[in-house]
Every structure is written in structure tokens, then in C-alpha cells.
Structure 1
Amino acid sequence: MLNRVILVGRLTKDPALKYTPNGVAVANFTLAVNRPFTNQQGERDADFINCVVWRKPAENVSSFLQKGSLAGVDGRVQTRSYENEGKRVFVTEVVAESVQFLEPRGSRDGQSSNAAGNGNSSGYSNDPFSDGAINISDDDLPF
């Protein structure tokens, strides 16, 4: 049996973080995932997929993702049901085993992720290869 889902999309609103009575973190969020084809008007429709993530990844999602953030979800489809005012309600959602943050934090707000914008006051970029020049002698190569 195989139940595997991989999604890439943008959050439709900020994640909702809650804790179970036993103190286990759980975050719910919805991903808007574009369909790979256009409709009759030439526009791309999107599917809005409910996702849930547990424990430390839930806390990370809540801390680092917000409405509009681009995220990748790897998980499985789960269905469940519950009673609400005498009616049976069915829910289908993706239980995320991992959530990847696919863009730098704040990039949707027009903030820069370079050395000047991330609080690094040393004057050096965090990327040692950012200037494009790498000086390596033949003696440094392992082959």
C-alpha cells in the first residue's frame, strides 16, 4: 500500500498552532496549490488543501511561515470524521511528515536577505561564494 503526497504551494492564512491536553503541538494550515493546466479563460485554478503537522515541526511552521509563504509538504492523506450537532462531518487532510520553507523569511515583504538586511554587521556576506571568485590552487584539489 502507498499513501504519499508531495505538495508545493502558498499558505492562504497564518498557521493555527494549538496544543493537545498532553502538551503536543499541532499546527493547521491551508496550501493553495496551482493546477498544472489552465481553465477555459486561460487562467490557472488552485486547489486549497488542508494540512496538519505535529510536534516540533508544528512549532517551526507556526514560527517561520505566514500567509503567502511558499512551502513544500511531504506527507500522507488522512480522512477522519466527527459528530457536530447530530451530523457526521468528514474531513480529508494531508498529515505532513515534513514541511520545507521554500523562500527566505520576509522575502514576500520586500525585505532583503543579504548581509545588510539580516543583522550581520561584520561586513561579510554569509555566502562565501557570493562574489563568484574562488581561489584554489592545484595543490588544494584532492585529485
Structure 2
Amino acid sequence: MKTRKQNKAGFTLVELMVVAIIVAILAAVAIPMMSGNKKRAMGTEAEAGIGTILSSARVYLAEHDQYPATLANLNMISSTDLDGQFFDYVDYSFTGTSSNTYTIACTGTATSGRGDDEGKSVGMAVTLDEDGIWTRNY
């Protein structure tokens, strides 16, 4: 009499453990890479906002022969123009002098940003001066 082999379908415990270990290793590598991408995204948003302010300041300079004293004097920028995912209008500052020098800064605070990203930019600071020198702290 012949006996038939039973087909057993499924995975062994060892195979499942190997897959779980591989997934854990991939997650351990991917998570730090993703957090670095978020920091770069914050920095890019700050630099884009500073670029918007700089463009408006140059228009102001062409019209008034000097830079404005503060961001509030740049009436071309509304309070919503600089609101982004990580920074808000109040996080940006413009300091100009009559000698046509300026500093534009973006500093993250606990109330910066919106949704799940609110407050994630605390401690970040990006500045630009009239010589085109960027200072990035992120």
C-alpha cells in the first residue's frame, strides 16, 4: 500500500522570523533618512519665504531708494503669503537700514507651522544678509 505525502502550505516559524528581522532592519535605516528629509524641507521652506521677502524688498528699494525698516513696511506681502507647513508670517523678520543694508531671518517657534507639523521647527533659524551670505541652523 502506498502512502501519500501531505502538501503542507505555509511558512515555518524560522522563515517568519527572518522576514520580521529584515523588515526591522529596513525600518531602522529608513526612519532616520526620512527625518533628515523633513529637516531639509523645513530649511527649503524658510529659504523660499526669505526669497519672497527679498524680491519684495528689491521692488521697495527700486521705488523708494532704500530698503524698508521692517517686514510690516513691505505692503506687497500679505500675512498669508508666507504661511507654510512649518513656518508662519510671524516667524519671518526683515531689518533694513537707511544705508541699504538688510537682514532677513526666519526663526521657528513652538507655534510655527500647522497641523501635525506645528512646533516642529523650534530652534531652526535661517538668515540672509545684503552680501548674499546665508546662515543656516538646522
Question: So what's the TM-score if we normalise by structure 1?
Answer: 0.23
Higher share in helix: 2
Higher share in strand: 1
Question: So what's the TM-score if we normalise by structure 2?
Answer: 0.23
Q: Which has the higher contact order (CA 8 A, sep 6+)?
A: 1
